[in-house]
Structure 1
Amino acid sequence: MPLMPVTDSMFLLVETREHPMHVGGLQLFRKPEGAGPDYLSTLRQNLLEATEMRNLFRRRPARPVNTVGHLAWSEDNALDLDYHFRHSALPQPGRIRELLELTSRWHSTLLDRHRPLWEIHLVEGLRDGRFALYSKVHHALLDGVSALRHLQNMLSEDPAAMDCPPPWGARDRQRPRTARGPRSPFDALGRAAGQLAGLAPAAVKVANEAFREHTLTMPMQAPKTMLNVPIGGARRFAAQSWPLSRVRAIASAAGVSRNDVVLAMCSGALRDYLIEQRALPDTAMIAMVPMSLRKPSEGLAEASGNSIGALLCNLATDLADPAQRLAAIHRSMCDGKALFTQLTPLQTLLLSGINVAALGASPIPGVVNNTRPPFNIVISNVPGPRRQMYWNGAALDGVYPASVLLDGQALNITMTSNGDNLDFGITGCRRSVPHLQRILLHLDTALAELEDAVR
């Protein structure tokens, strides 16, 4: 019965009906040429017959689930695959609108803790002939980066390849570990103690940047907004793609990173949306930007669990000029990244915990309504496939992430690169964020304004 790392078990501990703690994703595919009317039913049957399964997809919380289940995993050796992998059809007229509404409902429901914590829905009925996969996996099993890496592991660059594994399978077996001599447990304890001892000078660096140099964005500086309220359990989900070339051109012209441009897109969209709702704060909104702490050498099939840092970024929503907003975002991100590069991974993880620690008090009645938020929104940019990818002959058309929400954080924007496109997934509290789909229109406007600003 393997124990859970604290970074994984906390996602089970904080989960409630109002706060489902799974990450999700909606993928769109174009059927291969010559696919007949039984293509999807045959595909599903073939996938159900696949016997190879990653151990990750057999894990469930140890029983009883409300005590030991928060601390340890058990393995389900009699997994009911037909329960986890479902075949669904859209109501007519089968537009993307119906697909997003169905995705919103699926993303609102809790996973069954008496089973392995994942579901996958194969969806047909789109009037343009495409099909979709919606998947959700508990955050205790995978973070967004490891989920995207796992998706890439099941895809192929070869449109003729028909040996792609199912979403729960693995293309490559885990690489053998390099043989090492036996280590004393005191070695690991000594290394951890050395890392913790380094927190004191790390804290001095943070204090110097924040209070003396005034360059670092810190928690509790964010203004109160309509997005920072208690939330319900129902979700809305919206998605759209933009050409990655447009983002690259702006980044090159302005001398900033592509992620800076994406954050500026989100900043402009939030500003316009809140103006529309007559709710724009006078001071700049703050975003929490997750940063992966995984090593680039970590293989696709190895990615699991959670390894994320948290960087706070000034979104400069108080500035009307898009060029000035982009410059302010660039400075804020550079300052945060410069500090993080001076820290060890453990120090980064622990100091990231300071940035999000206030969220731990959000379930306490009255806290969200009567205190300032640690930040206003989470905006994630997760690397995805760099080329056109295929799954058993079907071309991948879109990858749209769906994320988690918490009390005081009613909106999440997550995007991923997908070949020549940048795919956005927006998750919002159905009660607290009206007309969520209008944020897509504002993102398009913000991108056009940035293009005009750098010409």
Structure 2
Amino acid sequence: MDPLAPLDAAMMTAELLSDPLHTAALLILSPPEEAGPDFVDALYRDAVTATAELDRRFRRHPHIGVDTAGLWMWRHDDTVDMREHVRRTTLPPPADRKALWELVSSLHSEPLDRSRPMWMAYVIDGLTDGRFAFYIKVHHTVVDGVAGLKMIADALTTDPANRSVRSLFATTSPAAQPAAVPSARRPPSLVRASLTGVTSGVGLARRVALGGLAMTVGHFADGTAALPLDAPYTRFNGRLGRHRTFAGVDFPKSRIRALAHTADVTDNDVLMAVVAGVLREWLAARGELPADTLVAICPVTVRARDHVTDEDRQANLFGLQLCPLGTDLADPAERLTHVHRAMARAKRQVAQGGPAATMLLAAPSIAATVLPPIMPFAPRVRRGYNVSISHVPGPRSQLYWNGAILEEIYPVSTAINGQALNVTMCSYADRVTFGYVSGRRVIPDVGSLIPLTEQALAELETALGTTAEET
């Protein structure tokens, strides 16, 4: 057995006290023109009978007990019954997007079984125009969002004629196999390792101190940084409940890029500003918009996109930053400028301090947000942040799965008590998708966020002088 990384072990412990920490992706595909009526049947049959060796991440599960001295360890499974992990579901007609979102909401509500590899996949057919969907759910200790999308991109192909695409779960290279157990170190090596550890600890403390100073300056100088307890209490800071809700929407990437070019900001800044506009309108319509700005917690990845290093093979490789969203600003253009400055500061912080330092800096805000809902009587006081927002860059080229066209990729991420709304965007080919995940008791009408997303995007286009027709 191998020990879990510290962050992964913390996630497993937190899950025992709070909510499931799995993340998912929903792929929507169209069969090739020559496909027969049994095309989806064949894909499912191939998935459950695949003989290719599974990636090691999909044939191990976390374990803690007396035999591990109370530590989380990976227990490797010699055999994995694919029929326990890959299921088939057919939606009854008329199977529109609303029906698909409801099915995904139900599937995402179910926790993963910790006694076996923590992943599940569903082949879903019955969609309009012959389309079908593939929903894959994995625990966050298995892969993070960036690694998960890279796994999908690596498994699929850009060749529409390729009919021998391997399983999404198959190993890709010898590097994906379990590493050999290192031999015992000699005393000089242990001394050097200890000195390195001490030096690293001193460097980390220095980066945390400098990061805390920069965060304080950013907070008081221009409001682009958030201190612990800066976020006003909202319904997103309450208990999530057992049932999840999901809805998604997609847009041409050209609309996002036109806005970014006009405002001289990044695509990610535009996406963040759109979400800020959605939250402002949704809360205002219910008389719940706080006078102070909402604050988002944003994973900032330090994972390489175009090549894989040994460090990139870790399950989770990102820093965390708090971003004031400017929801107290009525002008969409002014809100975008505010978000741009806040995100630029956040990226500098992670680049300069590293993920470990930013995690430590965010820890008080995380504790102030996710711990109160666990208490029997949690006061509705200020929190560390209100919502989790992230943007995961997906494949840049059109992909195919044994001839089927991958049309859309929707991220279906993690919501927990105190952080009861997660918004994740994913760019793929020439489209950008938004995935909203919450709880039924928090946002019962999650579908209402879809037209608000179009409204917020259109308001930005009007404010900056671009239009959908021009882009």
Q: Report the TM-score when normalising by structure 2.
A: 0.90
Q: Which moved more, 1:225-234 or 1:186-195?
A: 186-195
Alignment match, 1:37: 37
Q: Distance in 2 between matches of 1:37 and 1:378?
A: 41
1:190 aligns with 2:200: no
Q: What does 1:41-190 align with in structure 2 at a 5 Å threshold?
A: 41-51=41-51, 52-62=53-63, 64=65, 71-174=72-175, 184-190=189-195
Report the residue type matching 1:369 in the other structure: P
Alignment match, 1:389: 399
Alignment match, 1:288: 297
Q: C-alpha displacement at 1:55, in angstroms?
A: 0.9
Report the residue type matching 2:210 in the other structure: K
Report the residue type matching 2:117 in the other structure: P
Q: What does 1:3-14 align with in structure 2 at a 5 Å threshold?
A: 3-14=3-14
CA 1:317–1:44: 2 relative to 1, 3 Å: same
Alignment match, 1:279: 288
Q: Distance in 2 between matches of 1:68 and 1:25?
A: 35
Q: C-alpha displacement at 1:201, in angstroms?
A: 3.0
Give the conservation status (yes or no) of the 8 Å contact 2:296–2:387.
yes
Alignment match, 2:468: none
1:250 aligns with 2:255: no
Q: Distance in 2 between matches of 1:149 and 1:285?
A: 31
Query: What is the DSSP-based 3-state SS (H/G/I as helix, E as strand, rest coil) of the residue aligned with 2:270?
Result: helix
Q: Distance in 2 between matches of 1:304 and 1:87?
A: 30
Query: What is the DSSP-based 3-state SS (H/G/I as helix, E as strand, rest coil) of the residue aligned with 1:424?
Result: strand
Q: C-alpha displacement at 1:186, in angstroms?
A: 3.7
Q: Distance in 2 between matches of 1:69 and 1:42?
A: 44
CA 1:135–1:175: 2 relative to 1, 3 Å: closer
Report the residue type matching 1:291 in the other structure: V
Match of 2:327 among 312, 317, 320: 317
Q: Distance in 1 between matches of 2:176 and 2:63?
A: 27
Q: C-alpha displacement at 1:366, in angstroms?
A: 4.6
Report the residue type matching 1:231 in the other structure: L
Give the conservation status (yes or no) of the 8 Å contact 2:90–2:124.
yes
Query: What is the DSSP-based 3-state SS (H/G/I as helix, E as strand, rest coil) of the residue aligned with 1:343?
Result: helix
Give the conservation status (yes or no) of the 8 Å contact 1:25–1:399.
yes
Alignment match, 1:427: 437
CA 1:324–1:189: 2 relative to 1, 3 Å: same
CA 1:422–1:212: 2 relative to 1, 3 Å: closer
CA 1:261–1:194: 2 relative to 1, 3 Å: same
Query: What is the DSSP-based 3-state SS (H/G/I as helix, E as strand, rest coil) of the residue aligned with 1:256?
Result: coil
Q: Which moved more, 1:123-132 or 1:345-354?
A: 345-354
Q: Distance in 2 between matches of 1:367 and 1:404?
A: 24
1:410 aligns with 2:411: no
Alignment match, 2:382: 372
1:440 aligns with 2:450: yes
Give the conservation status (yes or no) of the 8 Å contact 1:149–1:300.
no
Q: Distance in 1 between matches of 2:462 and 2:439?
A: 33
Deviations 1:135-159 (A, max 9, x none): 1001121111111111111111111
Alignment match, 2:339: 329
Report the residue type matching 1:38 in the other structure: D
Give the conservation status (yes or no) of the 8 Å contact 1:310–1:356.
no
For structure 2, list consecutive stretches of 5 or more residues without a partner in the other structure: 466-471
Give the conservation status (yes or no) of the 8 Å contact 2:365–2:383.
no
Q: Distance in 1 between matches of 2:191 and 2:93?
A: 63
Alignment match, 1:201: 206
Q: Which moved more, 1:206-215 or 1:91-100?
A: 206-215
Q: C-alpha displacement at 1:413, in angstroms?
A: 0.3
Query: Stretches of 4+ moved more than 4 A in 1?
Result: 63-70, 180-183
Give the conservation status (yes or no) of the 8 Å contact 1:243–1:422.
yes
Query: What is the DSSP-based 3-state SS (H/G/I as helix, E as strand, rest coil) of the residue aligned with 2:360?
Result: helix
For structure 1, list consecutive stretches of 5 or more residues without a partner in the other structure: none
Q: C-alpha displacement at 1:297, in angstroms?
A: 6.0
Q: Distance in 2 between matches of 1:175 and 1:55?
A: 7
Give the conservation status (yes or no) of the 8 Å contact 1:239–1:424.
yes
Match of 1:231 among 210, 215, 240: 240
Q: Which moved more, 1:264-273 or 1:137-146?
A: 137-146
Report the residue type matching 2:259 in the other structure: I
Report the residue type matching 1:441 in the other structure: P
1:222 aligns with 2:231: yes
Q: Report the TM-score when normalising by structure 1.
A: 0.93
Give the conservation status (yes or no) of the 8 Å contact 2:298–2:390.
yes
Q: Which moved more, 1:288-297 or 1:422-431?
A: 288-297
CA 1:48–1:69: 2 relative to 1, 3 Å: farther
Q: Which moved more, 1:293-302 or 1:332-341?
A: 293-302
How many residues are paired up? 453
Deviations 1:296-340 (A, max 9, x none): 465299644112211111111011110110111111112222333
Deviations 1:8-36 (A, max 9, x none): 12222122596121101111011011111
Give the conservation status (yes or no) of the 8 Å contact 1:310–1:355.
no
